[in-house]
Chain A
């Protein structure tokens, strides 16, 4: 069977022409038709991933450079795989985080990579908004693979695709995001993306790890709820997304310790039982097993963590394909 997954909101929609974007810097500024176009394109890409011969010539002759100022294995690997499935040439470049503030400026670095011949630059950077500073000065297409606490747009899109794929819809779903929401670009991008698509998002975590101003942002972003009690938060949830907890949070005094976090915010089978019977469990990875997710939940039937990884490649293929055509505009 050679089949693209049918993604409901896009099945009948005609979205050609919805894409006029040279860069993917953020998800907050995506329109609903743009997101739907990405979803439709992703389902076509996913069919390619199911083939024995997982390669199409769409980006033949294009050069994709991954430039990571922060360590990453999965995101970088996912982008590299995506580019290769589309027949692009891929060059991986690693920059030392220390060179962020000294020596060559970011804009100069990007201009150099462009001069080498990059058509698309995929960048991860520890400072929020680094891509915004660079974008006006580069001719190549720039893709944000994560910037500081700010955004991880392709992660939000792959999470959206995974939910759509499993649930058939987004509007009206209750999605609970649990953990270190404040420092999580994954959480931030998911909040903006999911609420835009009509989901009700509840963020839940220790008070010190919740972002500022969300409670008062109801007018700006209807559909956001904030909760510090996980039992209340996950009640009747359709989706529970746990976030990775960084060890530094304990050291900097934001959390008393791991035991406290596990007691308060780990998703275990007891808490999972409070959600809807058909709920799904997500995590952007890498999972600290038995910290954010109890092992039986992570490896249980509700977990879609591996789907997220596969869908990540398809979403990134879609983004690369869509960007490649916008270059001359």
Chain B
């Protein structure tokens, strides 16, 4: 394998508190040297990253690859390539496939498929309960042996508090987090979007913030009781951020993630019955967005995760009430979030931390850094490149984006996975 040298980029590696212009040397798929000028040996491949940002490959703790069962929406082959285009090198896939990933053979199947057909690293998440039905625990210990990185019934809340307590107790010695989709199903019943005047105008049943917060509160208290690691998926409300902050102040083992769309889009996007903006949890309000950004800045929220949820055309080309929830998020993640940097809401190193070292820490520090000796997962992006979202050009099978036709600033130019280039932007930037 040829040496790979990335030259003159602004290297941002939050795990090592590194932010300076310099070079990176990759040898045999491993980061060899970071920061100092590297002189190119004969036959080494050189990437000129002048004016670009060079950082650890992004890590997505929450996505849906749909395989097995929903191959019309996405496959591991298409999903991992779309993720690579979005700058990701490690992605964790949710188990709400068909059948759901609730036992060892299924986890092994996804892992082998990912190794054979995937472009990047895929780490599966196992179900908390068998069939995601919320009735009995899945084979958690067995699945942990196969390498799942946590347990989640994502899409469903584990409604039975006693069962959730058992799941936390069971997961704790396994050293893996419970990743909870916090939404009380009774409070959210028939819900289609955020509760409020827009839902009233559209005649759609609203989902109150409390549907999420009630669930977040319960699980925080159960985490306190059991000492287990609770990771709250896709936080969307101000109240949830406050609860999480309260929990962290009490040293309860809880972490939280937020999705790009909940940081950038509000419920107004649904006007006109725009099914592309139908997502669960729903898009909320400006007040919630501000609280979520505050949560990122003060460390309450550890991670940004896409909740990439691809759907086929007909899943969205229908009545709003019948449409599937979810946004195809891999390929617009960076562009949409760079606006928060441009408007001064968050800093660039903070954004990168929430995409690399934040999720990396949850994964035991194995990924999301440029520490010499680490596997060479590197993302290079142009923070100033403007581009227009055209879902027709998505690699993902899911063309469902509320950002269609919008101009974003910030574009991934090159993604390196294990020392090999897995994505290059075909449009040459000057």
Contacts and interface: CB of A to CB of B under 8 A. Distances in A.
B206 interface: yes
A217 B198 CA distance: 10
B27 to A, nearest CB: 55
Nearest to B196: A213
Interface string A147-159: 1111100000000
Looking at B195, B203, B205, B320, the one whose CB has the most chain A CB atoms below 10 A away is B203
Interface stretch (B68-76, B127-135, B311-319, B357-365): B311-319
Interface string B243-279: 0000000000000000000000000000011010000
A188 interface: yes
B200 A188 contact: yes
B201 A127 contact: no
B262 to A, nearest CB: 20
A129 interface: yes
Contacts of B204: 128-129, 148-150
Interface in A184-199: 185, 188, 192
A36 to B, nearest CB: 23
B76 to A, nearest CB: 28
Nearest to B204: A128
A212 B202 contact: no
Contacts of A132: 272-273, 320
Interface in A93-122: 100-101, 105-107
Interface in B304-335: 314, 317-322
Contacts of B195: 212-213
Given A132-B272, A212-B197, A150 B319 contact: no
Contacts of A125: 319
A128 B321 contact: yes
Interface string B186-223: 00000010011111111111100000000000000000
Contact of B318 (A105, A147, A216): A105
B201 A133 contact: no
Nearest to A129: B273
B409 to A, nearest CB: 30
Contacts of A188: 200-201, 203
A129 B197 contact: no
Contact of B202 (A107, A150, A216, A220): A150
Interface size class of A (residues with CB under 8 A): 20 to 34
Given A132-B273, A133-B273, A211 B319 contact: no
Contacts of A149: 203-205
Nearest to B189: A252
A130 interface: yes
B200 A212 contact: yes
Contact of A127 (B199, B200, B320): B320
A128 B197 contact: no
Interface in A53-111: 100-101, 105-107
Contact of A147 (B199, B203, B314, B317): B203
A141 B391 CA distance: 30
B304 to A, nearest CB: 29
Nearest to A105: B318
Given A128-B202, A188-B200, A212-B196, A106 B273 contact: no
A130 B320 CA distance: 7
Contacts of B321: 127-130, 148
B429 to A, nearest CB: 36
A269 B407 CA distance: 61
Contacts of A148: 203-204, 321
B206 A212 contact: yes
B52 to A, nearest CB: 41
B320 A129 contact: yes
Interface in B81-102: none
Given A133-B319, A214-B200, 11 more contacts: A101-B322, A127-B322, A128-B203, A128-B273, A129-B204, A129-B273, A133-B275, A133-B318, A133-B320, A185-B203, A188-B201
Q: Which 5 A-B pairs have the closest CB atoms?
A: A150-B203, A213-B197, A129-B273, A128-B203, A149-B203
Interface of B: 192, 195-206, 272-273, 275, 314, 317-322
